[in-house]
Amino acid sequence: MDQTQICPRFEKGIQIASKRWACLIIYQLLEGPKRFCAMETALNISGRLLSERLKELETEGIVKRIVYPETPVRIEYSLTQKGLAFESILSAIQTWSQTWIEPDSI
Amino acid sequence: MDQTQICPRFEKGIQIASKRWACLIIYQLLEGPKRFCAMETALNISGRLLSERLKELETEGIVKRIVYPETPVRIEYSLTQKGLAFESILSAIQTWSQTWIEPDSI
């Protein structure tokens, strides 16, 4: 890695990964499409914050929101190809954590 | 990946990676030991924030602070083995960014 100049794409990637909750939301969605309430419960996150993060991830092209015209309407969130590819980053964090995080430091 | 239960180590890893500036500080130090002022300039970060982050990364065992008893005293920051191993996470972010971040989205 060449640190003298940070590539704007890399910096943007760091910015996305560093956004609080983003990694955990993507991790949840790697399981498959999810409804808002299910994510809210699983992550123990406020609705306002989850909604904000989902909108940001949608803008980044990582999450897609699908509206099923049923009664009542059903809305599901899932990962785009870009979002699915993010798994490689989460895997790297997982591998590093398993090797380097001491259980008694948590 | 099994999403039903998040491993506390993995969650802690995400928490470290998600801390603003942490990735960029580690990225800088992958180049080699650095002095506080050099990092402050390279990252364009406030001294207060950089000092806070470095202390946190030191507590996590990622960064080490070495004091050289010269006149004037010289203090350098470098990565521990745990910090050096973090490169795998930054590499994953870099690879993902190069593939998925559109230059016109930055």
A28 lies in a domain?
A: yes
The verdict on residue B67 lying in a domain is yes
Cβ contacts below 8 Å, chain A against chain B, sum to 133
**A4 domain residue, yes or no:** no
DSSP A75: E
* Domain of residue B72, residue span: 13-98
Asked if B95 has any chain A CB less than 8 Å from its own CB, the reply is: yes
Element counts in chain A: helices (H) and strands (E):
6, 3
Structural domain tally of chain A?
1
pLDDT tens per residue across span B33-64: 999 999 999 998 999 999 999 999 999 999 99
Structure ipTM: 0.90
Longest dimension (CA), chain B: 56
Please, what is the average pLDDT of chain B? 92
Read off the DSSP letter of residue B80. Answer: -
In chain B, the residue whose alpha carbon lies closest to the alpha carbon of A102 is B9
| B16-36 exposure pattern, b = at least 16 Cβ within 10 A, e = fewer | bbbbebbbbbbbbbbeeebee
Residue B44: give its domain's CATH number. Answer: 1.10.10.10
**pTM of the predicted protein model:** 0.91
Does residue B1 lie within any of the structural domains?
no
- The yes-or-no verdict on residue B87 having pLDDT over 60 is yes
Residue B84 in contact with partner chain A when CB distance is under 8 A: no
Q: Assess if residue A9 is contained within a domain.
A: no
Considering only residues 6 to 35 of chain B, which have any Cβ-Cβ distance to chain A shorter than 8 Å? 6-14, 17-20, 22-24, 27-28, 30-31
In a domain, A97, yes or no: no
